[in-house]
Amino acid sequence: MFAFLQGLAYGLFLSCPIWFMVGMMNPAKAVPTDPPRRWHVIARYWFAFPALAFLLWLTSLWGGFGPSLWGWLAGLAVIPASLPLERYWLKWRRQRAQLHKARSTQTRAAAGESALLRLDGARPPEHADAVVQSLWQTRRRLLAAGRKDLITQVDRVYTRKARLTDLLGRRFNPGELTYERGRSLVGEVCNAAVDHLNGLAARAEGLAGMDVAYVRRRLAAADIDEHPEERKALQARLDLIAGEEAALRADVAGLESMLTALDDATLAISRLDTDRPTASVEAGRALDDLRRFAERSAQYSHDRTAP
């Protein structure tokens, strides 16, 4: 055993200068890291492996001197055998890190905003008003179209409506004019958001019938150049899908202004001190801002649907 270790130490030590010269000329052949660097070569073959060979040699001295041939051969084979194993291990670690990052991204995207209220896909909430019923129907349409990435937008609108309505109920008495006015304006803005979401659902339903994977497979096929008409039609279909996806993303961005208006109203009302005499005036200002936004949203929705 000690003879084998001694031969292993000699073989490993003698192979280090060879691999050092190979690595200095082409680091990719001598180090498993990506990207390869010459300082990696120096660290491995000038310090790490010679130090390991020295430790093995010191250990083998307990058995005296007399390295074995098999130890020599094994020492010469250590580095060429370890390089592919290290490359495979580093590649596995990178893939595992990328998979973990992708899963984390998907989890954050699925979770969306913190403390987001979610509509039940099977049935709407009890005592749901017309706005919540419409949101629930839109959510089902998006789910049927296979656009789970857009369902979060429905839940965001539902969350803001529920929180703002609850806040109005806690800040004002149900019989107060400010309360009724606030509920009406929240409903108007949410109705505009529902119209916007229904437009998203309509686009998503149109895209659901287009098999993008098939189009890309056909365009990548080896014989596609032999059929120029088919290639032209497939490319036009792919451009149409890309345009619809871009319009879909633009519509999602347009929804943010409605959510921001609801957030502004929520923050303004939450800061009110209802014991102060000016509370109703300040609430009226916040609701006036909400009313003006509701009017702009209604005009925008009319302009979008106009021929």
Residue 43 confidence (pLDDT) above 90: yes
Read out DSSP for 208-259? Answer: HTS-HHHHHHHHHSTTGGG-HHHHHHHHHHHHHHHHHHHHHHHHHHHHHHHH
Domain assignment of residue 102, yes or no: yes
Q: What is the mean pLDDT of residues 59-85?
A: 85
Residues 238 and 155 occupy one common structural domain? yes
Task: Tell me if residue 66 falls in helix, strand or coil.
Answer: coil
- The pLDDT of residue 85 is 93
Question: How many domains does the chain contain in total?
Answer: 2
- The pLDDT of residue 49 is 92
Residues 89 and 207 occupy one common structural domain? no
Q: What is the mean pLDDT of residues 182-207?
A: 80
Residues 102 and 149 occupy one common structural domain? no
Residues 169 and 280 occupy one common structural domain? yes
Handedness of CA 226, 227, 229, 234 (dihedral sign): negative
**pLDDT by residue (tens digit) across 95-135?**
888 777 766 655 555 555 556 777 776 677 777 788 888 88
What confidence category does residue 42 fall into, taking pLDDT thresholds of 50, 70 and 90? very high
Of 188, 192, 166, nearest in space to 179 by CA: 166
Residue 277 confidence (pLDDT) above 50: no
CA 36: distance to chain centroid? 30
Task: Tell me if residue 172 falls in helix, strand or coil.
Answer: coil
Average pLDDT value over all residues in the chain:
77
Residue 57 confidence (pLDDT) above 90: no
Residues 84 and 208 occupy one common structural domain? no
Residues 135 and 262 occupy one common structural domain? yes
- Measured CA to CA, the distance from residue 293 to residue 122 in angstroms comes to 33
- The pLDDT of residue 281 is 45
- Measured CA to CA, the distance from residue 10 to residue 111 in angstroms comes to 58
Residues 225 and 94 occupy one common structural domain? no
User: Tokens for 159?
Assistant: 């969350």
pTM score over 0.85? no
**pLDDT by residue (tens digit) across 149-166?**
778 888 888 888 888 888
Domain extent for 271: 130-305
- The pLDDT of residue 302 is 44
- Measured CA to CA, the distance from residue 25 to residue 5 in angstroms comes to 31
